[in-house]
A and B are shown apart, each in its own frame.
Chain A
Amino acid sequence: MTAATADLELLSITKNFNSFVAVDSVNLKVGRGEFVAIMGPSGCGKTTLLRILAGLETASSGQLYISGKDVSDVPVNLRSTRLVWQNYALFPHLDVGGNIAFGLTLKPYDKAVVAGKVKAMAELVGLSDFMGRKISQLSGGQKQRVALARALVTEPEILLLDEPLSALDAHLRIRMQGELRRIQRQLGMAFIYVTHNQVEAFSMADRVVVMNKGRIEQIDAPEEMYARPKTEFVARFVGTNNLFTGRIQEIGHDRVIVHCAHGQVVVMTDDPPPVGASVFVVVQADKLTPAPIGLAGENRLDATLRGREYAGSHNIYLLDLVDGTEVKMTMPQILPVEINRPVTAWFSPQNAALIRGAA
């Protein structure tokens, strides 16, 4: 993606709070109409990054471009981004209509123009019947819609959303996810969506950014991130993955053999690290199955069953390998093995991914 088609571009944005580095030289390009989710554990710098984009914080160093213009030093009230706040931050002294119109009334618009825009926006988010309501009379979902409408009505170039659905109950959250996606497509506006909720990020975003300790770990489409995590952190943070540490022992034409503590593992790869390199082998929990009878040594995991969690649609089995490594295996069926009995699991070489370890 070139800078000309990028709505937003961050060039080595860094933010220090005294000696603490909250955001560490972040580079990111967001295209027109793209939905990007920024995900990470609390304290990873995702909210600080969002506040820098909004202009609420000034970056210690780095540049920020919106539609090709350097806006690094543009004050918050003159930015063309708009933020949807985590706890809505609605004005309690104004009614729903007053809240939505707030940003427009600051500009020298004609009253009729403001009223028309507010009405159209209220329709888009489904609030037409609530215009005269007080904020205290609204439900969580309705407040969320007001917050969204208040930001969108000012026609920003980019909408920033800070965990906007975290205060809603599960059912409403899923409905609002779909609605946010619909509105985003309809307006063709770039959305930058900060969340710590993996399901939310993966089901809504075109691309997901995973952050840790102020740095970006990986930027990828959700499917890609899920299937091929690039760092140990992403592998542990995303989904339910099993990680085996080991060293490359042998390189074949499309596969490598990795020597791990519990034995040898075969992994398919096009881009093998050199022999002797330290690596992580990542296998998703649902890619593990009980070993077929008569299976040869390849990718066998001899283990002891330590426990079972019933999760409705599937079962999660906790296994201990001979070297003590803990492994998770999920499958819909019941495993006919008792707790503390030996069990052999297996995975296909195609279903494992390699991550280069730290040197």
Chain B
Amino acid sequence: MSSIDEAPPSRRMRTPNDSPLKVWFLAPLGLWLILLFLLPLLFLLWIGFWRVENFQAIPDFSLSNYTDIFASFFSKSRYGLAMIQSLWVAITTAFFATILSYMVALSIAFAVPARWQRLALLLAIAPFWSSYVLRLYAWQTILSRNGVINSIMRLVGLSDYRIDIIYTQIATRIGLIHYLAPILIVILYVSILAIDRVLIEAARELGCTRWQAFTRVVLPLSRFGLMTAGSFAVIVSLGDALSGNLLGGGAGTSIIGKLPTYASMIMSDYSSSTNLPRTSALATILIAVMVLALAVGFVLADRARRRIG
């Protein structure tokens, strides 16, 4: 009896799973994040305050890069307009990519028999196995003026009609959606899978048509997944320059105008000026916008989750 009472309380584990070793299992992840994420990020922030003299980057703490950029944000340099273009392209891309992926995820979860679902999911994410750049070039072949689609239309005698979307932001969005869809499908499929099927039966039993069961039960319960997928798509689209360059032709047209996205503007800016401090400052601004987008997405997703309780 007394021997149990005398056991030192400090050695007592709170749960059977408790172990002083478990903290160390975080070490590889922590090291990885510090070395490959945090340090480069801090370096980027720091370089943004350097200045350039005689084509040489000189460590300093000057705000001149930022004052320069913001002085001509909407006029000569048009960084601001590119940012608006980026936000417009990213938000519309995320919107369509999320809807498309949600439809695919829904049909995998509900229309495909349970034992084929893994295979269907695998096929849906198959594009992920080929290189992104390769896929963009493939789309170029398909969409260009004398590309696959237009050639076929000419062959069948529809030479009066021609799709002319290559080097517009529509083509940029197509490339991005193709890139994003596999990831979004997985996110959304998992969130649909978490919905208890009994709830759908219960809704039907209470008088819902199939469509009402979807709008009143499945859709509200998918809201967290949709917000997560949507904000992920916005951030990836904001940061991507490849689709904008290869399919959008650098400065693709959208209803906002013939403007490059912010990310592709940074890229072309750097290759023409090689002004590293200035480019770092531009990139820092983009990161700030992404963090803002992430925060908005997080708040929306959290609100959706709390409503589910």
Contact = CB atoms under 8 A, between A and B. Distances in A.
A134 B308 CA distance: 9
Nearest to B213: A77
Contacts of A203: none
B170 interface: no
Interface string A68-110: 0000000011110011010101011100000000110011000
B206 A106 contact: yes
Contacts of A154: 206-207
Interface string B198-210: 1101111111110
Contacts of B209: 77
Interface in B10-52: none
B220 A102 contact: no
B290 interface: no
B206 A85 contact: no
A107 B207 contact: yes
Nearest to B195: A92
A230 interface: no
Contacts of A285: none
Interface in B101-156: none
Given A89-B198, A91-B199, A106 B205 contact: no
Nearest to B217: A91
B9 interface: no
A54 interface: yes
A5 interface: no
A329 to B, nearest CB: 43
Contacts of A151: 206
B207 A77 contact: yes
Contacts of A76: 204-205
A89 B201 contact: yes
A313 to B, nearest CB: 36
B196 interface: yes
B268 interface: no
A82 B206 contact: yes
A246 interface: no
B212 interface: yes
Contacts of A204: none
A26 interface: no
A56 to B, nearest CB: 6
B162 interface: no
Interface in A287-336: none
Interface string B283-309: 000000000000000000000000111
A83 B207 contact: no
A150 interface: yes
A42 to B, nearest CB: 18
Nearest to A102: B206
Place the interface of chain B in its size category. 20 to 34
B276 interface: no
Contacts of A83: 202, 205
Contacts of B206: 77, 82, 102-103, 106, 150-151, 154
Contacts of A16: none
Contacts of A166: none
A85 to B, nearest CB: 6
A255 B9 CA distance: 75
A346 B52 CA distance: 111
Given A77-B205, A102-B206, A106-B208, A85 B309 contact: no
Nearest to B209: A77
Contacts of B202: 83, 85, 89, 91
A106 B212 contact: yes
A136 B205 CA distance: 22
A127 interface: no
Contacts of B223: 93
A214 interface: no
A55 B205 contact: yes
B204 A77 contact: yes
A134 B206 CA distance: 20
Given A77-B209, A87-B198, A93 B204 contact: no
Contact of A93 (B198, B201, B208, B220): B220
Contacts of B198: 85, 87, 89
B309 A136 contact: yes
A135 interface: yes
A56 B201 contact: yes
B265 interface: no
Contacts of B221: 92-93
A82 B208 contact: no
Interface string A119-158: 0000000000000001111000000000000110010000
Given A54-B205, A56-B205, A135-B309, 10 more contacts: A56-B204, A77-B208, A85-B202, A91-B202, A92-B199, A102-B203, A103-B207, A136-B309, A150-B206, A154-B207
22 contacts: A56-B205, A76-B204, A77-B208, A77-B209, A78-B207, A82-B205, A85-B202, A89-B201, A89-B202, A92-B221, A93-B217, A93-B220, A93-B223, A93-B307, A93-B308, A93-B309, A103-B206, A106-B208, A107-B207, A136-B309, A151-B206, A154-B207
List 3 tightest A-B contacts by C-beta distance, closest first: A89-B202, A103-B206, A136-B309
Interface of B: 196, 198-199, 201-209, 212, 216-217, 220-221, 223, 307-309
Interface of A: 54-56, 76-79, 82-83, 85, 87, 89, 91-93, 102-103, 106-107, 134-137, 150-151, 154
